[in-house]
Structure 1
Amino acid sequence: MHIHILGICGTFMGGIAVLAKAAGHRVTGCDANVYPPMSTQLESQGIELIEGFDPAQTKLSPDIYVIGNVVSRGNPLMEEILNRGLPYISGPQWLAENVLQGKWVLAVAGTHGKTTTSSMLAWILEYAGLAPGFLIGGVPENFSVSARLPQAPTQDKNSISPFFVIEADEYDTAFFDKRSKFVHYRPRTAVLNNLEFDHADIFEDLGAIEKQFHHLVRTVPQQGLVVMNGKETSLQRVIDKGCWTPVEKFGTETDWQSANAQGDGSFDVYYRNENESSGKLQGHVAWSLLGEHNRMNALASIAAARHAGVAVEVSIAALTEFKNVKRRMEIRGVVNGITVYDDFAHHPTAITTTVAGLRSKVGAFKITGARILAVLEPRSNTMKLGVMKSALPASLQEADLVFCYGANLGWDAVEALSAIKDKATVYEDLNIMVAAITEAAQAGDYVLVMSNGGFGGVHQKILDALRVKFQVE
């Protein structure tokens, strides 16, 4: 089959392209911005890419057009497809019908931590020899690819793994299907990591998102499992709407808990069922990931993997070798004792946990002298709308200096950060901001860059400027 993907350079649609190609289909695609790294990744797979949405692309005569949610009415190619009555389908539906059908799907949903938890879960199954397929909205460093079809398990090289791990996004499916993507996946194991208000461009309020999460819960079979963050009242409201599936919680006194967290990131795992008075020690996760949010992600992945038949001790051993995901507290370089990190955090809650995690690692400034220089780009649709702006000052409290890129916002970042104006500065020019960061940085500092986009290559610009400042090769 020949499929032509509209919006192919997004992480999700690019993953579908890779899976379709691996399944033996001819794959072509187009997007408004065809550029590295996604373009080179896809082209290396033998996938033909076309810049723009020219209606003349219908001359390719594919068997079906797969439509990404970046495509809207008025798109010239989409209008041609509609006018001519050509066959089309959304990305999530194509994935469900052509890849996920008949698989044991493990879906990870939540406002935060989907990519990291999906990566942990896929790695645990891989470590256990189960060779899962996966589609993740990032690049897990244990795999170096964001998507693959199920492989042959270690135990039976003549079969194909039934398991598929997917990052289950609540964003809408397509312009013609306003349901959340994840309702198409029909998981047997569903992880509900957390639930806060986000995607203000498509959801009116938190209740609207809770409704979509309940649609997901409705699709999980009685013999399945819902793994739920027990600290989230919003998720409890989702379950209270009706749940026909066993539920295991993490982060509470029942079911899965973490304890004895150390400054190096390591912690103990406990499990307590409803018939026990106290939790039983399951093992010790020795890794370098920081923060309570990562401990919660680990508990969720351990619980989900156990449902798929992986012993807890195997999961703990796997997590000890987990290498995280690119752009999740990824060290981009060190110059003259100044460490530059890259992180995907773009929601105030994610910013809070990211900064707090780094602070717990480097220690309090008064004790260690280590400063955190937070560099922020409010780039997500929700942040651009200013819905979360009032929460920004609190999310950055543990940073010592804050550099905010305020260009192209629909709100006043200076006013929004006025509560921390003694340490926060807003810039409209990226190069001027880089110069200010370079001037302020000193040996022992940690520069934490947070954005869900490329941020104009600011990480490399900072490193280059630091090399010039300190005359380092």
Structure 2
Amino acid sequence: MPKAIHFISIGGSAMHNLALALQQQGFTITGSDDEIYDPSRTRLQQHSLLPATAGWFPEKIHTGLDAVIIGMHARRDNPELVRAQELGLAIYSYPEFLYQQCQQKQRVVIAGSHGKTTITAMILHSLAFHNRAFDYLVGEQTEGFETMAKLTPEAPIIIIEGDEYASSPIDPRPKFLHYQPHIALINGIAWDHVNIYPSWESYVDQFELLAEAMPKAGILIFDESDNMLDVIGQKERTDITKIPYQAHLSEVRNGQTYLITKQGTKIPVSFFGEHNMKNVTGAMTVCDRIGITEDQFYAAIQTFKPVALRLQKIAEISVPNSVNRISFHDFAHSPAKVEASTEAVKHQYPNQRLLAIVELHTVSSLSKTFLDEYKGTVDTADQVVVYFNANTQAYLNSASPIRPEDVTNAFGHRNLKVFTELEALKEYMLAQVSTVDILLFMSSGVFDGLDIKAISDKLIQAS
């Protein structure tokens, strides 16, 4: 008889994908949430899992449930959670439950402050390209995969994107500590999630715990160019294998990036930038340990397409005897990501005028104590625009709100403008499309509904 599982906050990115994966395996799934947006809403509706009414309903919690899975969007006093606790039901965060379902599999966890989604997607693509059986959990929709999670009884291995964020409102441990990986990759550490980790030291501690928790005969793969990771990687653990890696050798010709193999062969790829050259080496190192040879990896990576909103091209035109005009949208919500993406685009198109547009959207980025982390991150751009919603910022940090001059001083760019009103931002952007060659929009948000596609089209029309 199928097991009955209820999801509290079923609309979450990972939560709804896990719900779909379990439903496909015959589990009986119910769920609740007070707000559900696309793509979660449409997917849940397509599989008859969309709650009929938004909100929390304790009557959905009963003794016939085998488990309750709670997401981070819920609060500790959530009425459904309180009812489940009163009934003594088994309550899990999604990483806890995922581990319960994959204890018999080889577990590969990809962790790090930035790039883990891309590395995970590269590994998934390589396995699928060569028709291997595997399960997975990845943080963003990846081309070629219907959902972001797959959980089957047959697959001998599972590839998991390991998040350092708290597991649930009743479990502050990082998600990745639940997985107990046989192979772990850490690709870089840059302070983030200041609402949970108020200091650099407390943030780094989580990755040290991951490395220390590796089982005997485990494999730890790490980016040795990251100073903090090199320290973690060199710590005394003689019972595990440690494999450092660096950026893959590459070259750029006429806007096209090529990986250069040990034999000197040049492999064309659709991604670029120093950070992606590290990502590809990390992915290849993992693949080597799970049965994908270098030749097989190179054959697969040529058809890999970047994950959505990872330097995703919104519009592009090549003008004969002139420069390209391109617009990118990138999920860069932390200083390290902003710096990596800005440098990557400028390196790829060194002779073109780059306007970087950054939205301060996360709790971390809107914190005055964290703002100085952005110092120098956009220095390679010719022009910079920083936008933040003044009302949102005041709500999140009412005790110490940031001002436009705080942003200007923190970033330290010679040609930077700050906007707090959407219409003013839109007006300025439309005025710039005739004077720049490349637009690079960077945020984990949506610029309060700014029509990025329309502005990108204006860039192309201005050529």
Asked if the contact 2:250/2:257 (under 8 Å) is kept, the reply is no
Q: Which amino acid aligns with 2:249?
A: A
Q: Which amino acid aligns with 2:223?
A: N
Counterpart-to-counterpart distance in 2, 1:194 and 1:262 = 24
Counterpart-to-counterpart distance in 2, 1:9 and 1:16 = 11
What's the CA shift string for 1:185-230, capped at 9, x where partnerless?
A: 1212111111122111111333323332233223433333211111
Asked if the contact 1:214/1:241 (under 8 Å) is kept, the reply is no
Aligned equivalent of 1:193:
187
> Against the structure 1 CA distance between its residues 391 and 214, is the aligned structure 2 distance closer, same or farther, given a 3 Å change threshold?
closer
The reply on whether 1:45 has 2:47 as its aligned counterpart is yes
State the shift of 1:301 in Å. 0.6
Asked if the contact 2:407/2:418 (under 8 Å) is kept, the reply is no
Aligned equivalent of 2:123:
121
> Against the structure 1 CA distance between its residues 53 and 402, is the aligned structure 2 distance closer, same or farther, given a 3 Å change threshold?
farther
Aligned equivalent of 1:245:
240
Counterpart-to-counterpart distance in 1, 2:171 and 2:333 = 26
Aligned equivalent of 1:424:
416
Counterpart-to-counterpart distance in 1, 2:358 and 2:188 = 23
Counterpart-to-counterpart distance in 1, 2:10 and 2:182 = 28
1:18-97 correspondence to structure 2 within 5 Å: 18-49=20-51, 50-58=53-61, 62-97=65-100
State the shift of 1:262 in Å. 2.2
Q: Single out whichever of 180-189 and 330-339 deviates more from structure 2.
A: 330-339
Q: SS in structure 1 opposite 2:41?
A: helix
Counterpart-to-counterpart distance in 2, 1:372 and 1:223 = 47
Counterpart-to-counterpart distance in 1, 2:282 and 2:460 = 44
Aligned equivalent of 1:367:
none
Q: Which amino acid aligns with 1:404?
A: V
Asked if the contact 2:69/2:93 (under 8 Å) is kept, the reply is yes
Q: Single out whichever of 59-68 and 445-454 deviates more from structure 2.
A: 59-68
TM-score, normalised to structure 1, is 0.86
Q: SS in structure 2 opposite 1:381?
A: coil
Q: SS in structure 2 opposite 1:298?
A: helix
- The Cα RMSD (Å) is 2.6
Asked if the contact 1:291/1:357 (under 8 Å) is kept, the reply is yes
Asked if the contact 2:163/2:174 (under 8 Å) is kept, the reply is yes
State the shift of 1:242 in Å. 4.1
Please point out which of 406, 421, 442 is paired with 1:450: 442
In the alignment of these two chains, the number of paired residues is: 441
Counterpart-to-counterpart distance in 2, 1:62 and 1:339 = 52
Q: SS in structure 2 opposite 1:383?
A: coil
Q: SS in structure 1 opposite 2:214?
A: coil
Aligned equivalent of 2:151:
149
> Against the structure 1 CA distance between its residues 436 and 20, is the aligned structure 2 distance closer, same or farther, given a 3 Å change threshold?
same
1:273-292 correspondence to structure 2 within 5 Å: 281=263, 284-292=266-274
Counterpart-to-counterpart distance in 1, 2:79 and 2:100 = 27
State the shift of 1:442 in Å. 1.8
State the shift of 1:24 in Å. 1.3
Counterpart-to-counterpart distance in 1, 2:458 and 2:213 = 56
Q: Which amino acid aligns with 2:279?
A: N
Gapped regions of structure 2 (runs ≥ 5) = none
Please point out which of 371, 377, 382 is paired with 2:359: 377
Asked if the contact 1:194/1:235 (under 8 Å) is kept, the reply is yes
Please point out which of 172, 178, 181 is paired with 1:184: 178
Aligned equivalent of 2:344:
357
Please point out which of 347, 358, 375 is paired with 2:334: 347
Asked if the contact 1:68/1:174 (under 8 Å) is kept, the reply is yes
The reply on whether 1:5 has 2:3 as its aligned counterpart is no
Asked if the contact 1:348/1:388 (under 8 Å) is kept, the reply is no
Aligned equivalent of 1:412:
403
Aligned equivalent of 2:138:
136
Counterpart-to-counterpart distance in 1, 2:459 and 2:361 = 29
Counterpart-to-counterpart distance in 2, 1:333 and 1:196 = 30
What's the CA shift string for 1:138-158, capped at 9, x where partnerless?
A: 01124353222359xxxxxxx
TM-score, normalised to structure 2, is 0.87
What's the CA shift string for 1:217-263, capped at 9, x where partnerless?
A: 23433333211111122123323444331011101xxxxx5224224
Counterpart-to-counterpart distance in 1, 2:140 and 2:379 = 28
Q: Single out whichever of 88-97 and 221-230 deviates more from structure 2.
A: 221-230
Counterpart-to-counterpart distance in 1, 2:456 and 2:213 = 52
Asked if the contact 1:130/1:163 (under 8 Å) is kept, the reply is no
Aligned equivalent of 1:463:
453
Q: Which amino acid aligns with 2:149?
A: A
Aligned equivalent of 2:368:
386
Counterpart-to-counterpart distance in 2, 1:107 and 1:311 = 19
Q: Which amino acid aligns with 1:448?
A: L
State the shift of 1:101 in Å. 1.7
Counterpart-to-counterpart distance in 1, 2:125 and 2:457 = 36
Aligned equivalent of 1:435:
427
State the shift of 1:311 in Å. 0.7
State the shift of 1:56 in Å. 3.9
Counterpart-to-counterpart distance in 2, 1:210 and 1:391 = 16
Asked if the contact 1:150/1:163 (under 8 Å) is kept, the reply is no
The reply on whether 1:259 has 2:249 as its aligned counterpart is yes
What is the percent sequence identity of the aligned residues?
A: 24
Counterpart-to-counterpart distance in 2, 1:471 and 1:282 = 40
Counterpart-to-counterpart distance in 2, 1:150 and 1:437 = 48
Counterpart-to-counterpart distance in 2, 1:421 and 1:218 = 40
Q: Which amino acid aligns with 1:228?
A: F
Counterpart-to-counterpart distance in 2, 1:2 and 1:455 = 40
